[in-house]
Chains A and B, each alone.
Chain A
Amino acid sequence: MAQKNPNLITLSSGEAFQPFRYSVGLYGSRFFAELKDNKRLMGVRCPGCRRVHVPPRPVCGPCYKRMEEWVEVGPLGTIATFTILRFAFIDPETGQKKPVPYGYGLIRLDGADTNFQHFLELPKDGKVAIGMRVRPVFEESRRGNLRDIKHFEIIED
């Protein structure tokens, strides 16, 4: 069929790259400052439904109310769901193939009502399940972004 025709040319965009400077905003900036300086994880509580949102953001979507009450959450949490990535793909953040396998999951930090996405360290026995307890492992030197947490590790509870 068509794709086997040696006369067909494709043009590579090469290392085409679009750089961006994404604003973290006031809420995100405060979260990362607390993470960097105090190893504290913070959420915001909705004045309507009282749910605590992590990551923090100004608006509660379902209530459409501005959230201003900051509360500390975690650092311990529970696995809400997870997967283990086993196929290689181009990481748009680096342009390189992402090293696999890696585990990641949605973590319900204690005191939060939404989930926080992060890497999960895979235990040697391979046993991961919804409901397992986890704790964050912080980087020694932190720069104020999501990678200040290396990953979450499963703990006995």
Chain B
Amino acid sequence: MADKPAIIGVGQTEFGAPKTDQTFADLTYEAVNAALVDAELDIKDIDNIITVSNDFWDGRTISSMAVGDAVGAAFGQGKNISTVEGDGAFGAFYGLARILSGSYQNTLVVAHSKGSEGDNRLITNAFFDPIFERSLGMDSVTAAALQAKSYMEKYKISPRQTAMVSVKNRANALKNPKAHLREELDIEDILRSPQIAPPIRRHDACPVSDGAAALILANEDFAKKRSGKPVWVEGVAFCADAYRLGERALWESRALREAAKKAYAMAGIADPRKEIGVAEIYEAFSYQELLWSEELGFASPGGGGALLESRVTQTHGELPVNPSGGCLSAHAVCAAGLVRMIEAALQIRGDAANPVRKPKKALAHGQNGLCGQSHCVWILGAN
């Protein structure tokens, strides 16, 4: 990138459900304060704010209204603030743009969600077209099952291979005190867990968590002056595919391929498999880590299963994927992509709870929509 912005502070709540003792405002206040402490900044140092939320998940029109005070919008004479709906990785992009526009030195990006307060099935059913699709009763899990099925059949990916993703990520989560699910599972536990939408079993799916995440971005000048541990943004891009599942080849994701291509070009990455030292990928279901890994260029099409079996993506492998435990271990919608960025940044800094061999470049990934209709890819670096 021409201008060099950086991540200079990160914060997250513990993820779990239900967190009845904390409102949306309580969660965001906790995450923002953690990020301010991490950045060694005060709220008065923050120039502007982006919040990320979703009206359906929050059961509230203008869901951002609930957290304005708690993220500092009213501080002093008030700050410039806006809201992105969807995943936090996209929200962070808008936060970055507000720095690169020259308007602000830094941006606080905050995402929250409480999956425990609404009905996950009804909320994600509302992603479907009301005229032609919604009455079929589909939701995010059944949609993912269609994708899992078509991907696994196309490339002969076995349930054992997808289950190994859950084994890996849930084992990683044991070292992450913020993770929602922290119990060790072996492959038989996963293969014996109930089918929730074949071929997806209970332990192939993410939990629906409550929690919040916050991240502070800054321009080069501010980062150099004020931060002892900046993590530099080297590339970022996002892209959306067709809406209807029938218009996409579900065993691939051209939108992710396109976003990755652009982000790599920006970061000067020619061979992602070799140059990226750690990846935090938004895998709401176990099969997604394999499929997204392929589209990110870590393996050839259909090679995601073999990549995993080769142990490359283990914490101490050459290209660790989701050492935090990933979304399979903690998944607060809207916050999840921001958590991927936070975890990737912590790895670069050497501050992650489950550190990998110190990477020079890290990849963080967010997604929106059914079966990953839209993807966002961030490349972060140490220098």
Contacts and interface: CB of A to CB of B under 8 A. Distances in A.
Contacts of B22: 23, 25-26
A46 B307 CA distance: 55
B123 A59 contact: no
A112 B72 CA distance: 22
Contacts of B26: 25-26, 58
A144 to B, nearest CB: 14
Contacts of B21: 23, 25-26
A18 B123 contact: yes
B119 A61 contact: no
Interface in B182-209: none
Contact of A61 (B59, B75, B123, B130): B75
Interface of A: 11, 13, 18-26, 28, 57-64, 66
Given A18-B56, A20-B118, A23-B117, A61 B131 contact: no
Given A23-B23, A25-B26, 9 more contacts: A11-B131, A18-B118, A21-B116, A22-B117, A25-B23, A25-B25, A58-B25, A58-B29, A59-B69
Interface of B: 18-23, 25-26, 29, 43, 56, 59, 68-70, 72-76, 114, 116-119, 122-123, 130-131
Contacts of A24: 23
A13 B126 CA distance: 11
A70 B76 CA distance: 23
Ranked 3 nearest A-B pairs via Cβ: A61-B69, A61-B74, A20-B59
B117 A21 contact: yes
28 contacts: A18-B59, A18-B122, A19-B119, A20-B59, A21-B116, A21-B117, A21-B118, A22-B117, A23-B18, A23-B22, A23-B114, A23-B117, A24-B23, A25-B21, A25-B25, A28-B23, A57-B69, A59-B29, A59-B69, A59-B70, A60-B69, A61-B69, A61-B70, A61-B73, A61-B74, A62-B75, A62-B76, A64-B75
